[in-house]
Structures are given as C-alpha cells and as structure tokens.
Amino acid sequence: MRKADLQIKRVYAEAAPQDGARILVDRLWPRGMKKEAAGLALWLKEVAPTTALRQAFHQGGMDWEEFRRRYRAELDANPEPVARLREYLHKGRVTLLYSVHDEVRNHAAVLAEYLRGG
C-alpha cells in the first residue's frame, strides 16, 4: 500500500472528492454532526480505542507514548475491524475521520501508523 492511499482528517472538515472512502473511527458520534453531512462510507466504531483508554488519555491519566502503546495492543487484540479497514485500502484511497481537536496526537494518527505497518 502506498502512503498516499491513507490519510486522516477531522470529521468536521469539509468532505472532498480526493478523500476517497471516508471512514469515521470514533466510538461516539461527533457532536453537532448530521449523518448526511459526514459523507461516510462507513462508521467503524469497533476500531476506536476502548472508552476506558480514551478517557484515561483525555483526562491526563497517561502520556502520549503510553496511549499509543496501549491502543496498538488493543488493535492487535481486535483484528476484525482492522481487516475491514484493510479491505477498503485495497480498493483505493481511505480517509480516517476523527472528532478530537488535536490534529497530531489522536487515535486516528495511531491507527494510520498501525495500518501502514509502522
């Protein structure tokens, strides 16, 4: 898979034709977002971090590296949704959508790194 085939984007950013398959990877539906406006191919909440892990990270209970390590372990233990994402990637460009404000340190970035084999 080429690196350009996978990107991440906030779900609140405007959908664009170059997004390819837009897949929401949040466990919770984004506040204020109408389903029609999201332009999703899929909402794959099963691939998101567990509620406990997400809350611990966002409430300051762990640092970024610990979050990354634990989330990758969750992905290793949950191969079915990861395989579903890989099926989309074999078909073409995929944009993983997330709702948190931090555009660098978020679970979609970890997931993209994981899918790229990094």
Q: pLDDT tens across 47-86, in order? A: 999 999 999 998 988 999 999 999 999 999 999 999 999 9
Q: State residue 118's pLDDT score.
A: 64
22, pLDDT greater than 50? yes
Find out whether 100 and 106 touch, Cβ atoms under 8 Å.
yes
Q: Which domain holds residue 56?
A: 3-115
- What is the pTM assigned to this prediction? 0.92
Q: State residue 15's pLDDT score.
A: 92
What letter does residue 6 receive in the DSSP assignment? Answer: E
Total domains present in the chain: 1
For residue 71 the two structure tokens come to 């989330």
